Amino acid sequence: MNKSFTLTLTALILAACNSATPAPTTAPVAKPAQPTLAPTVAPTSAPTVAPKPTDVPKPTEAPKPTATPKTKMVVATTVEPLTNIVYNIGGNRIELIGIVPPGTDSHTFEPAPSDAVRLARADVVFVNGLFLEEPTVKLAKANLKKGAEIVQFGENTIKQQDWVFDFSFPKDDGKPNPHLWMNPLYALRYAEIAKDTLSRRDVDNADFYAQNYAAFKTRIEALDVAIKKTIDSIPAANRRLLTYHDSFAYFAPRYDMKVIGAIQPSSFSEPTAKEVAQLIQQIKAEKVPAIFGSEVFPSKILEQIKKESGAQIIETLSDDALPGEENAPNHTYIGMMVDDAITMAKVLGGKPELISTFDVTNVVTK
Ligand SMILES: [Zn+2]
């Protein structure tokens, strides 16, 4: 040990001497051979020993006067459609954080510890509520910074007497179907809540938020009319929805459609063999024209039901995931609703062209 320490030290000294010696401008003539140890050790040892120019302490700089840049309000949301609705009001004047990653099952989503850090930065946390994002709400509450608030859209949109319970959201559990945003007029109310909240907390930009809300309102009202026309073009007997995921409880009554069933049980697991057998019976008896699946909830069960019931078509409907790539013009809440109406019209014998050219872009441009 001592020996190696001595050798190393020697090497370091040699290395230090070498690096300190200015390079000769002419090649030295027949210099005696250097000890063989030095060159092999020097390259690795030298840099740590030689003081670097950057180590020289800098003269202390006078602190620059900060131009007090107005910091943006930090706003956290949960699922993509809600994030997009809030974006249409706040644009780039807020810093918007979506907690539930795209394509994730929002009903079973468990936030990661890193989400606690993100939620702790938020001034406002917008959630759907109605028990959709309980773990996220719990985490937000535990980490909320002083003066921040959690705003629940659902609870501020409909009264308890208007809650819908059904197969996947049974009354016994006390947790209603939370998919209010699938009714565009409820989505508009979400936007209004966002506008009111942002304006109250950021008065300087209140006009901007109000202007965006007005534009969103005009577009949503037009969307509502376009969906109505499209669904009306479906023969009455076909205006029935059997979906895998039970997300049209507030959409269907708005457009005179009937949800005849959902396949996914309240546990969000796969249905049992018995339940599947019953469903197949029901599909045959009611002559269900189509079963609608979902990208977020792919299910092998659907294939089985399709095979055994003869219900010929499975198409994709979405309530959580926005269409297109991020930044694509149709990657919006409105784009998702238009896609769903097109899918229903195509599969159930309606006229998709009544809505296929609808403007699906964001109303906010900055
Ligand atoms: Zn859902």
Centroid of ligand 1 to alpha carbon of 358 (angstroms)? 24
In the prediction, which pLDDT does 295 show?
A: 62
In the prediction, which pLDDT does 313 show?
A: 60
The residue-averaged pLDDT of 40-47 equals 38
Centroid of ligand 1 to alpha carbon of 201 (angstroms)? 30
Centroid of ligand 1 to alpha carbon of 170 (angstroms)? 15
In the prediction, which pLDDT does 1 show?
A: 38
Checking if the pLDDT of 66 tops 80, the result is: no
Centroid of ligand 1 to alpha carbon of 91 (angstroms)? 25
Centroid of ligand 1 to alpha carbon of 267 (angstroms)? 13
Centroid of ligand 1 to alpha carbon of 269 (angstroms)? 13
In the prediction, which pLDDT does 311 show?
A: 79
Centroid of ligand 1 to alpha carbon of 177 (angstroms)? 9
Centroid of ligand 1 to alpha carbon of 167 (angstroms)? 13
Answer CATH for 224-354 from 3.30.70.870, 3.30.300.30, 3.40.50.1980, 3.40.50.1100: 3.40.50.1980
Domain ranges in the chain are 73-221, 224-354
In the prediction, which pLDDT does 273 show?
A: 85
For 346-358, write each residue's pLDDT tens digit.
999 999 999 999 9
In the prediction, which pLDDT does 165 show?
A: 94
For 189-234, write each residue's pLDDT tens digit.
999 999 999 999 999 999 999 999 999 999 999 999 999 999 999 9
Checking if the pLDDT of 180 tops 80, the result is: yes
Centroid of ligand 1 to alpha carbon of 272 (angstroms)? 20
Centroid of ligand 1 to alpha carbon of 107 (angstroms)? 6
CB 278 within 8 A of CB 230: no
Superfamily of domain 73-221 in the CATH hierarchy: Nitrogenase molybdenum iron protein domain (3.40.50.1980)
Q: Quick one: pLDDT band at residue 98, thresholds 50, 70, 90?
A: very high
Centroid of ligand 1 to alpha carbon of 295 (angstroms)? 11
The residue-averaged pLDDT of 79-84 equals 97
**Segment among 53-67, 144-158, 241-255 with least mean pLDDT:** 53-67
In the prediction, which pLDDT does 362 show?
A: 98
Question: Which range, 49-53, 137-141, 294-298, 324-328, has the best average confidence (pLDDT)?
Answer: 137-141
Kindly list the distances between the CA atom of residue 65 and the CA atoms of 58, 68, 91, 217, in Å, as whole numbers in the listed order.
Answer: 20, 9, 29, 43
